[in-house]
A and B are shown apart, each in its own frame.
Chain A
Amino acid sequence: GQQVMQIPQYQHVQEGEDFTTYCNSSTTLSNIQWYKQRPGGHPVFLIQLVKSGEVKKQKRLTFQFGEAKKNSSLHITATQTTDVGTYFCAGSQDNNDMRFGAGTRLTVKP
């Protein structure tokens, strides 16, 4: 079945450092979404990417969708303590339901 792999599993950074999480699929995805889950909270939608090679920015966050539509990345510039949480990618194959990666848990040391 469709699987979305995400790395790293954990990332600990010093405040001000950059952070990147990667998402890979063995099959071509029709679209990919990114979510953030704060500790004890629920996943909250960040963005959706649909086009091959697409790049979108939200303030310090940059999202990319690979040319082959099999991988994606989320990059945070100059992390802040408010960035703490788990970041999930979710991919869809053939416009069916979204399947989630395992998530990358980010901790930020002040």
Chain B
Amino acid sequence: DAGVIQSPRHEVTEMGQEVTLRCKPISGHDYLFWYRQTMMRGLELLIYFNNNVPIDDSGMPEDRFSAKMPNASFSTLKIQPSEPRDSAVYFCASSGRSTGELFFGEGSRLTVL
């Protein structure tokens, strides 16, 4: 198995631009999680899906952030408009259970200038 695949690995954009991060979970995993990692706040859970349905989005910072999972093999995290404080590493992880072992992708490092 190729593991969790995220793209892009690095993104540099200017404030106000739209950013879309992509994730392909491990086949057969029913749960998909989006985490954000910064030095100040550590690993924060943004949202997670079960069988493509958003279960808990209480960690999504504000309306500028949105996440979708149109099918079992693809999810997106969108930031519109982006701000410098959104600069972070965004990880996608998948699991067979909500509290099972998390398999993380390699992350998308976002820099907003």
- Taking Cβ atoms with an 8 Å cutoff, the residues of A that contact B are 1, 30-31, 33, 35, 41-45, 48, 88, 90, 92, 95-103
Contact = CB atoms under 8 A, between A and B. Distances in A.
Interface string B39-53: 000111100100000
Contact of B99 (A31, A45, A88, A102): A31
Contacts of A1: 58
Contacts, number: 52
Contacts of B44: 100
B104 A95 contact: no
Given A42-B107, A97-B48, A88 B102 contact: no
Interface centre among B48, B103, B104 (most CB of A within 10 A): B104
A95 B42 contact: no
Nearest to A46: B101
Interface in B7-56: 33, 35, 42-45, 48, 55-56
B101 A95 contact: no
Interface centre among B44, B99, B103 (most CB of A within 10 A): B99
A92 B103 contact: no
Contacts of B101: 33, 45, 48
